[in-house]
Amino acid sequence: MHLMDIYILVYGFLLFSFCLLVHIVVWRIRIPNHQIPLLGLIFIFLPALVFLSIYAAKGVFLPPALFDLSRTEWFAVFLLHLSLSGAYILSYPAAQAVSPSLKMLIDINSSENGCSVEELVKKFDENALFEERLQDLIKESFIVETADGIELTEAGRKLIKFFIFMRRLLGLSMGEG
């Protein structure tokens, strides 16, 4: 088996770093309303565009020897990029909506005498913990607010059924949240 050229690692990281840079620049200008779909666009669609541009420019504007990889090697580059991107996108919600667990750890660490549960509850805004997440779900079209209450949309129903099915296969009941 022919082993891996270091360039596969370099190109994979360069591609991911480029997308990350675009993401940071866009977010610093204005945080978009639909953040996760836009992240998908930046980390998946943009690299495909970059790849096609390189492919078109090779031999015309770029020397043919540059980025001269086999199909398997390009697959390896994209697998590296997509795995890094997937890990980042799925880690993103913890930064997007401040994870209460992470905030609790910071609050506990900042207190010399530790914290009781009651003190921690006081530090949290009920609105941020519950209401904002509810609004996120409405914005992302997983739930809809009607005159007589809130209910799941088709997308919301599919999403929760996926997790229920996954937990059932694992022999676990749904998490406590």
Partner 1 sequence: MNGILLFLIFLACTPLIIFLLQMIFSRAVKDIKIAPQIAVIMCSVAGFFVIIGTACLINSGLPTGCPKGRISFILYGCIVYASLALMYFHIFNMSETARRIRILYEIYLVGKANKDKVRERYGASKMIKIRMGRLVDSGQVACRNGRFFIRNRLLYLAARIVMAWRGALKFNR
Touching partner 1, residues 94-123 (CB under 8 A):
94-106, 108-109, 113-117, 120-121
Q: Considering only CA atoms, which of 17, 14, 22 is closest in space to residue 39?
A: 22
The interface with partner 1 within residues 8-37 (CB under 8 A) comprises 8-9, 24, 27-28, 31
The interface with partner 1 within residues 118-147 (CB under 8 A) comprises 120-121, 124, 126, 129-130, 133-134, 136-137, 142-143, 145-146
Q: β-pairing, 149-152 with 143-146?
A: antiparallel
From the CB of 78, what's the least distance to partner 1, in Å? 10
The single residue among 21, 45, 75, 141 that binds partner 1, judged by CB under 8 A, is: 75
Measured CA to CA, the distance from residue 85 to residue 144 in angstroms comes to: 30
Measured CA to CA, the distance from residue 98 to residue 147 in angstroms comes to: 30
Question: For tokens 């209401």, what's the residue?
Answer: 131
The region of 36-44, 46-54, 57-65, 150-158 touching partner 1 under the rule CB under 8 A is 150-158
From the CB of 158, what's the least distance to partner 1, in Å? 11
Give the pair of three-digit tokens for residue 46: 């943009």
